[in-house]
Structure 1
Amino acid sequence: MTRFAIFDGHNDLLSRLWFEGDTSGESFFTGRKGDISLAACRAGGFAGGFFAIWVPGEPQDAPDPMATLRAFPPVDTAKAHRITMEQAAILIRMAANHPDAFRLCRSVAEIETARAEGAIAAILHVEGCEGIGAGLDELHVLHAAGLRSLGPVWSRDNIFGHGVPFNFPASPDTGPGLTDAGKRLVAECDRLGVLLDLAHLNEAGFWDVAKVSGKPLVSTHSAAHALCTATRNLTDRQLDAMAETGGLCGLNFGVGFLREDGVKNPDMPVEQMIRHLDHLIARLGETGVALGSDFDGTTIPGWMKSAADLPLLTAAMERAGYGTALIERLCWGNWMDLLRRTIG
């Protein structure tokens, strides 16, 4: 067993399984290649996290369409609705077929029970709401199925708002924010107890959420713009606003958001992640920072071959002088505290 249990703010397993045609998610349990599998999670202490639904644009024949594009056109609504439901069904089947190993959780109590019983605790998350219409009917269906977290946009525009593109070096202030439909979505998520994820919103959208929502401001997988001037990262002004609401940032493991040069080069030392953690803690406090790996959705450091290597990160935290209590908060406790205040 690893020393620290980890609750992770973001992974893209569901879209990867969908790309691979694994509609049951069975390969997760039988040793799939990739950042996360049951074996890798157990080896590394990955005990739960946010499992994201993500609808790809065109072409669909490659799992990393970001390899050649920085700006993304809108996706077809009917296609997005279909793929959203197909990926949600994968997670539901995984939990139904392997309840001893994998649980779909709707509350912190269910997460803690899953951890105590040795099962991975999964929060169903939607990353970009192209599969949800302006009337929000799909939101209510997904909520009934277990949805407890969503990002109104991915890094492209939709009916709810404007996503921040993948640019470097650049400001996240890239255009308009939420639409009227987006503001209605935010208000309804507050009412339902669905966490709002700011990770792919541009800066105007961030401030719109801050005005409309009464909940803590949260980014499930981002890093510090002061250390890496990628548009996907959060400025100090944004971090300070998050701190004022008791919000939280999960540290993204993507090297393109961590390296000072913004390059997706996996040759990056673990100490660069510690620098970002130090900066985030300085702005958000020790209770406002957690982990948000983006496993199976980005280029992670070369020394981290999979979730099995998460102890290398916690060992680096210890070398940096982080005490056991702080590491436990960063790895698990801060997400639990935040979720108690958002989903219950």
Structure 2
Amino acid sequence: MPDNVLKGRGAQKNVHNRFAENEHEVLDDYLNFCEAEGEEADKNNTKYLEVFPKTFVNKVDSPDVGMMYSANPYQGCEHGCVYCYARNSHEYWGYGAGLDFERNILYKKNAPKLLEEKITSKNWQGKTIVFSGNTDCYQPLERKLEITRKCLEVMFKWKHPTGIITKNSLILRDLDILKEMAKFNTITVNISITSLSEDTRRLLEPRTATIKQRLKAVETLSENGIPVRVMMAPIIPSLNSHEILPLVKTVAELGARDVAYTMVRLNGQVAEIFKDWAHKTIPDRAERILNQIAECHGGKLNDSNWGRRMRGEGTIAQQVKDTMAIAKNKYLSQRTMPVLDRSHFIQLKDPQLRMF
């Protein structure tokens, strides 16, 4: 890796917040603790700040993301995935989408309380809530604070349908709760695995769990009756697009029930961050990869059109789609993800139904 690369970080620079007139300066007296995951980060230590939201469960308006409601215990993410679409959301908190997104993590300790208030409110009907619709609910800070675990305890208490998206093997810490939730068919887990190569993982996702650990999570969860879908998201031309068949084969052998994918799209400030990262970390391939990404989105690095933005268009996107279809037909043809059961939640919530 070139000497000018910040080790343990995805973004290689900060970018100015488009919505702020002034740069944001972080004070050093924020909480500064956390057992590191993945690669060791640069010497500019991550800072942690508690925030106090009034709501926790979010309605998802995007029609092509596969969820109606999401919940995010953390804002910003120390995993440092350079392609992450959620980087842009950090600007609404007064930070930049680049290194700020990885170095300044906001956490919501009141999330379990807000969650229980929401799902027990009068008109709530128990629609599935997905944890990590924006940033990873099992990022490194979760090891210390256990906010996600406390939220899962609330969800299990009320037998509420729950989805999880993560790329951290820390999820296995909560296997005890997940196993109980699976008995009521109220849990599905989505494990993000973008590559089988550790070299690629270190470049793209420097502080995430290793590929070996994530594959172990797929296997362990599956062995314990917890439905697992693997997310190959995103697929990046000339970087991991050649791994579709071997990746699907591997996770199918470990018990995954499905594999989903998205084509990379570099929305908002992510385009500038990704271009800078590519030229610093893979300079010999940078322009080819960027050009192929643009080819998938009508000549641009991003496409915001519903439906098309996740799959792309053109020859490369079609090749990816066809290869994924072949892989799923070959290795996952007899498997499906379950429809989660909310009848247990409805019965618990309605005192009259409890009598039956």
- What TM-score does the superposition give when structure 1 sets the normalisation length? 0.45
In our comparison, the structure showing a higher alpha carbon Rg is 2
- What TM-score does the superposition give when structure 2 sets the normalisation length? 0.43
